[in-house]
Amino acid sequence: MANKPVKPNRGYKGTTADVVMTQHESAKWIVDYFSPTGSILEPCKGSGIFYDLFKEPKDWCEIDQGRDFFEYTDRVDWIITNPPYSIFDLFLEKCLEVADDVVLFVPLTKVFKSVKIDRMISNYGGIKEIVHMGSGGRHGFPFGFPTGCIHYQRGYKGPIKYTQQYD
């Protein structure tokens, strides 16, 4: 049975509420923890908090700077970003298309939000690790939902490692 494509919000576009900048301390911890190697893409560069921490070779997209991630066609080893939540499904689908390892810094409810997403992840590989980093407010986000990183890996079929990284 063929999978139906995932659907983002009804407008298929991000919203102004999606612009939530990651604090430098959080981004540094994430990059240090995952230690990406090879080519790295920051598809939502914003002010460059993650991008500036990446080693070369690295690339970026930022729709407000004329580089739309949905038009990106190169393959990369890693993506690490804080994605637009309103179009999470569509964004995740694009990430899985272009990268072998994807780390998204999101409200943890995004991990298991639908069977369609679960199937898409399963077809890609799997979730290698979930890092629970406490509430969003702890990281400067305007919400208190449990927040952390989901590490998706192409071809991964092992158990999901769960790490709590907060006081």
The one-digit pLDDT tens for each residue of the chain (167 residues) are 233 333 343 444 444 444 566 889 999 999 999 999 999 999 999 999 999 999 999 999 998 899 999 999 999 999 999 998 888 899 999 999 999 999 999 999 888 889 999 999 999 999 999 999 999 889 988 888 899 999 999 999 999 999 999 87
Whether the Cβ atoms of residue 29 and residue 148 lie closer than 8 Å to each other? no
54 and 28 Cβ atoms separated by less than 8 Å:
no
Phi, psi (5° rounding) for residue 25? Answer: -60, -40
- Distance CA(48)–CA(135), nearest Å, equals 23
29 is written with which tokens?
Answer: 């911890």
Task: Report pTM.
Answer: 0.88
C-alpha 68/C-alpha 44 separation (Å) is 9
